[in-house]
Amino acid sequence: MSSRGYFVGQIIDDLDAIASQVRQRCKLNQMDLNRVLEDFFKEILNLVYGYNLQNLNKERVNTPGLDLGDKSIGAKIAYQVTSQAGSSKINGTLSKISPIDAVSYDRFKVLIIGQRQGSYSLDTTLTAKYKFNENDDIVGITELCRDIMDLSLPDLQAVHRKLSDEQRRIVIELEPELPDGSFKTSMLDFIEANPNVGRSDASAFASHEDVSGLFNDREEAQSVLDRFIDEIARLPRMTRELFGWMVDESEFDNKGISPSLQINADYVAAKCRDVPNYLAEIRLLTARGFIDFDQEEPHRSGLRSFIARRSDAPEW
């Protein structure tokens, strides 16, 4: 498949997913389209047709008949964004166009988030007054996709990026409310769960020669180890993996006041250049006390070794 074909396929699938969610809401008589959806399609229409549409409901609360408008010379076009495809909805939209809007815009269109009807019974007085053509001015998702397919590759990529960034969020925003007042998707579904952690009685840890003299008995060693396990388990998985890699790559340094593991910060930055949100990971590890930076040698970052911490040390 060509890159163009890939982009077109993804765009059609994403728009269909949004339209499908709207259909679900309509089946439950939840036909209100919130501002999030209006703003989303404002951006899509601007990318596809080169408009500079603005959300009219930000200027006037629930502008009668119209949701989006571009008053610039050469455009002068306004849209109603709706989930309802019937003739009564189209006639209602046209009947609510105000005298000010009639002067501000030359063209009026209805964007249906779904499929338009095959034919319409429209008020001919209204269609003549606003030069409204049901074949050209009622646009469904199929018609929108057809126009998207004619875009240049750079414009096609721009639409694809917009949909990739926002499609999932839009679909979730449009989830119909369930009878018990809840929703199918919860924010908790996207939050990483804490790992299942296995624990030992710390016998091997307490008897290791590297911690000789640090603990009074095994119970004290287990308390310290459990505290460390609790803290590291709170880190996101990717952060834990980064910390583990840094430990593996570090060298032991016992020249300072407190022995520690050291790793060159520039080396870490170079190796992690493709790690998503690398600096955020470093900030999190620093804030949680797992790493700090050597003040004498700014080019190095020091990893605080948990086995060097005494049981009476401050909590992380």
Write the CATH number for 278: 1.10.10.10
Query: What's the confidence (pLDDT) of residue 208?
Result: 87
265 near 291, Cβ under 8 Å?
A: no
Kindly give, in sequence order, each residue whose CB lies less than 8 Å from that of residue 88, ignoring residues fewer than 6 positions away.
Answer: none
Kindly give, in sequence order, each residue whose CB lies less than 8 Å from that of residue 156, ignoring residues fewer than 6 positions away.
Answer: 4, 7, 8, 11, 148
| Beta bridge mates, 139 | 111
Mean pLDDT of the chain: 83
Distance CA 96, CA 87 (A): 14
The secondary element (H helix, E strand) that includes residue 260 is strand 260-264
Last residue of a domain, one of 158, 189, 220: 189
In a domain, 286, yes or no: yes
112 near 22, Cβ under 8 Å?
A: no
Find the largest Cα–Cα distance for the chain.
95
**Is residue 182 located within the same domain as residue 227?**
no
Kindly give, in sequence order, each residue whose CB lies less than 8 Å from that of residue 306, ignoring residues fewer than 6 positions away.
Answer: 224, 228
The secondary element (H helix, E strand) that includes residue 314 is none
Higher pLDDT, 256 or 18: 18
**Is residue 148 located within the same domain as residue 268?**
no
Distance CA 302, CA 304 (A): 6
Residue whose pair of structure tokens reads 């119909």 in the numeric block: 176
In a domain, 128, yes or no: yes
**Which pLDDT tens digit goes with each residue over 153-205?**
999 999 999 988 887 777 777 676 666 766 676 767 778 888 888 888 888 88
On the question of pLDDT at 44 being above 90, the answer is: yes
Distance CA 141, CA 116 (A): 8
**Is residue 229 located within the same domain as residue 166?**
no
The lowest-confidence range among 104-108, 160-164, 186-190, 262-266 is 186-190
Higher pLDDT, 167 or 226: 226
On the question of pLDDT at 1 being above 60, the answer is: no
What 8-state DSSP symbol labels residue 69? Answer: E
Domain count, the chain: 2
Higher pLDDT, 180 or 66: 66
Band the pLDDT of 61: cuts 50, 70, 90.
low
Separation of CA 214 from chain center: 47
**150: containing domain:** 3-189
Higher pLDDT, 198 or 299: 198
Distance CA 228, CA 127 (A): 72
Sign of CA dihedral 186, 191, 192, 197: negative
**Is residue 68 located within the same domain as residue 176?**
yes
pTM: 0.59
CB atoms within 10 A of CB 250: 19
- Grouping H, G, I as helix, E, B as strand and the rest as coil, residue 315 is coil
Distance CA 146, CA 174 (A): 24
**Is residue 26 located within the same domain as residue 152?**
yes
Closest by CA to 308, choosing from 202, 210, 207, is 210
Kindly give, in sequence order, each residue whose CB lies less than 8 Å from that of residue 281, ignoring residues fewer than 6 positions away.
Answer: 238, 239, 242, 275
**Which pLDDT tens digit goes with each residue over 125-162?**
999 999 999 999 999 999 999 999 999 999 999 999 99
**Is residue 15 located within the same domain as residue 158?**
yes
**Is residue 210 located within the same domain as residue 121?**
no
On the question of pLDDT at 88 being above 60, the answer is: yes
